[in-house]
Amino acid sequence: MTFSQKLKTAMENLNLRQVDVANLTGKGKNAISQYIAGKNIPPEKTRKEMAAALGLNENYFETDIPIVKVLKNDYVIAQISVENAASVMRLSVETMRKGLQQRVFCWGYAIKVSSKWRYFINAKRFAEVEGVEVPADMIF
């Protein structure tokens, strides 16, 4: 399978849009579009970093290692709550939520669903970028 095909499969299985992949990986939307179209293939180091940012095995794009599958078509990426991330970074929960809503952080995002917001923070990416160790009891 090509890098493009694997990226498309991961996006479909993880229910991610191009903008979500861009925000999680820190890559530009144009770069993600080029990757999906098969016009460009990032270097090996970048592929490993992208896989980790998406919560996949770092060798996902290099080999045929599947995404961890649970219950039908649901997939699990280790997450940390907004409250716990705010605590680790010594920010208020409100500041953390605003940052996620404004897509300030490369390790998480917020999606407005009706009148409420849904938050996602990739625990592995959070720990790597912020240079912290996330205690196991904070991960879900």
User: What pLDDT, on the 0 to 100 scale, is given for residue 108?
Assistant: 92
Instruction: Please tell me the CATH code under which domain 3-67 is placed.
Output: 1.10.260.40
User: What pLDDT, on the 0 to 100 scale, is given for residue 114?
Assistant: 80
> What are the boundaries of each domain within the chain?
3-67, 82-138
Averaged over successive runs of 10 residues, the pLDDT of the chain (140 residues) comes to 87 87 90 91 90 83 55 66 92 94 92 86 90 82
User: What pLDDT, on the 0 to 100 scale, is given for residue 75?
Assistant: 57
Residues 6 or more apart from 47 whose CB is under 8 A from it? Answer: 3, 41, 61, 62
User: What pLDDT, on the 0 to 100 scale, is given for residue 133?
Assistant: 83
